Structure 1
C-alpha cells in the first residue's frame, strides 16, 4: 500500500507543478518548490521551516518560491523521504532516525551516549569534515542534507513507573522509532522495544499498549504525551537531530547562485531554530510539570552507559560505520564511550 500512496502523491504533485511552471533550465529551477514535514504549525520546527522559506524567497527577490505543507499532509516521515527521492517533494525535515533505513551513516545518531552533552553534539555538527560525509552520503539515492535542527536530548517517559536504573527497565514496553539502532538500544538497556509511528504514541500510552516512550521534552506538550505519561526520567541517552534534506536533481538543476541561496537560507534557519527550540523546551518543561502533572526525575546514568557499551564496540568494528564512528569520536578507536 505504501508504494501506491507514494506513487499517487508523486504523480499528483508533479502534474500540478507541470501545470504551474514554465521555467526554463537556463534560469535555474527554483520555482514552486514543495516543502513538507509532519509537525503541527505551532511546533518550533514549523516556525524554523517558515524562516527557511522566507529566507529563500527574500534572498532571491521572489524568483524562488516554496509551498509549505505541515502536519503530515503529504505523508509520514518515511513517505515524505520517498517523495523527496522521486522529486515530488523538494525539501523535507525528518528525524535522522527515519533516515537510518535509507543510509546507514545516519544510524550514528541513534547510538546511545555518543555525545557527552549538547555542547559536544553542536561542536561536532559544526565540523564540515563530519557534516559533508553525512549530508552527502545519500546523494546516490536521490537526496542530500542541507543542515540540521537541534531536536534536544532524548529521554525516557512512562505511564506510571519510575525508572532509576537499568534494572527497572525489565519488562518495560518502550516505543521507539522504526530504526534498528533504536531497537538495539532498548534491548541493551533491558526493555522491550516497540517500533511504531510517532502519531500512534498517545493512544498507545493511554491504552497500555506501551508502557513508555523516549523523545525530547517538547513531545510532552506539542503532542500532549504529558496527558498520558506521569513520569519523565532525564536519561538523556541520545541526541538525534532533525535533518533538512533536498532532492539532489532539483538542487543540481539550479544555478550556482540559487544553490548558494538554498544553503545560506538553511544556515539562517538553523540559527533561528536554536533560539525557538530553547524557548520551546523551557516552556514545555514548565507546562508539563505545572499543568499536566508530569513528575521529573534525575537518574544515575552509569548503568545505562555501561549497558550500551557493546553497541559502541559493534559500531567501531563495522566496515561502513567504523570510520563514521571515528569521525565523531576523534579518530581514537580505543576511546571509552
Structure 2
C-alpha cells in the first residue's frame, strides 16, 4: 500500500511550525484559499483538486479552495510574487525555481543527486531534511508545506540522440532560470539557453534550440514531441514540485484548520505519486507511438563524472552542504 511506503513524517513537524508561527491560534473562521498554479500535467492538476475536496471535508466546510489554474495569473515566478503580495494564498511551483528564494532548494537541482526513485521519496518524507528547507523562506512571507513528484528530467533532441557526454558538445539546450541548471549544462559541454517554457516549442521548431530537458509530459501535454525526434533517459535531475502557503494564511488558521490543511496535502501527495507513475508509463508509450519519438537509455556514469565539479562548490556553502549530506545519508545504495 502506498500509505505504508510514504509515512507521515512531515505532518507533525509542520503543524508544530504552524503553531510557532501563528502563536495562539485564532478562533476558527470560514476561509477561502486562493490557489493558483501554472501549466501542469494531469496528475498534478488532479492532486490539487483532490486537496480542495479533502480540506473542505476535513475542516467541516470551514476551508474551501478557489483555483486559478494553467497560468491564468502568470508563470511560476509571478505566482510566488503574488503569494508574497497577498493576491493568492497558495501555489505550487518547481523546486528549481525555489532556488531563487532560498539556496537550500538549489541542492535539489544538483545533477544525479538521487540514487533512484525510492531514495527521492525517502528524502521528501524525511522530517529532519525538509522542515528546515520549507522554513527557509519564512522571512519572505511564505513557507513550503508539501511536495509533489515531478519525475525526472531527461534530454530531448531534434536531430540526433544523446548517447554519450560528447554528444552534448556545443548543443543549445533550453534550461530553467537556475544557476545550477546552467552550470550543469556547461559541465556536460552544452550551451545552456534560459528560456520560458512557453517559448520552447517554437524555438525547437525553428532550430533556435537543439534540444531541451524535462519530464515526459513536456513531449505529450506541451506537444514538444511534434518537433523533436529523440528522448534520452539519463535522469540528470529529479526536482520536486513544492507547495507554498503564505504566512498570512497560517496566521489566520485555527489549530484544527492547520491539521486539516496538512492532512489533506499529505493525502493528495500520496495519490499524486501513485497516479504519476501510471501516467509516466502511458506517456512513454504515447511519445513513441503517437509522436514517433525514439526513447533511448545511456550509461550515466560518464555524465556523473563530468558534473562532479559542481559538488565541489558546496564546500563554500555550509548550509547547502549540510542538506546535501543529509540527503546522501538516507541513500538507498
TM-score of the two chains, using structure 1 as the length reference: 0.88
Aligned to 2:299: 300
Q: Give the deviation of 1:252 after TM superposition.
A: 2.0
Aligned to 1:275: 274
1:36 corresponds to 2:36: yes
Aligned residues: 308
Q: Give the deviation of 1:124 after TM superposition.
A: 1.2
Aligned to 1:260: 259
1:209-224 correspondence runs (5 A): 209-224=208-223
**2:107 is paired with a residue of what secondary structure?**
helix
**1:32 is paired with a residue of what secondary structure?**
strand
CA distance in 1, matches of 2:191, 2:38: 26
CA contact 1:39–1:45 (8 Å) conserved in 2:
no
Aligned to 1:141: 140
Aligned to 2:50: 51
Unpaired stretches in structure 2, ≥5 consecutive residues: 1-24
1:95 corresponds to 2:94: yes
1:165-244 correspondence runs (5 A): 165-244=164-243
Q: Give the deviation of 1:26 after TM superposition.
A: 4.7
**1:320 is paired with a residue of what secondary structure?**
helix
**2:212 is paired with a residue of what secondary structure?**
strand
Aligned to 1:86: 85
CA contact 1:153–1:237 (8 Å) conserved in 2:
yes
Unpaired stretches in structure 1, ≥5 consecutive residues: 1-24
**1:268 is paired with a residue of what secondary structure?**
helix
1:44-98 Cα shifts (integer Å, max 9, x gaps): 1111100111111111122111101111001100000111112211110100011
Aligned to 2:14: none
Aligned to 1:107: 106
CA distance in 2, matches of 1:203, 1:251: 41
Q: Give the deviation of 1:316 after TM superposition.
A: 3.7
Q: Give the deviation of 1:29 after TM superposition.
A: 5.5
**1:27 is paired with a residue of what secondary structure?**
coil
CA contact 1:114–1:238 (8 Å) conserved in 2:
yes
CA distance in 1, matches of 2:244, 2:26: 24
**2:163 is paired with a residue of what secondary structure?**
coil
Aligned to 1:154: 153
Aligned to 2:321: 322
Aligned to 1:15: none
Query: After the TM superposition, which segments of 4 or more aligned residues of structure 1 sit over 3 Å from their partners?
Result: 25-30
Larger RCO (CA within 8 A; separation ≥ 6): 2
Aligned to 2:127: 128
TM-score of the two chains, using structure 2 as the length reference: 0.89
CA contact 2:148–2:269 (8 Å) conserved in 1:
yes
Q: Give the deviation of 1:329 after TM superposition.
A: 1.7
CA distance in 2, matches of 1:28, 1:160: 59
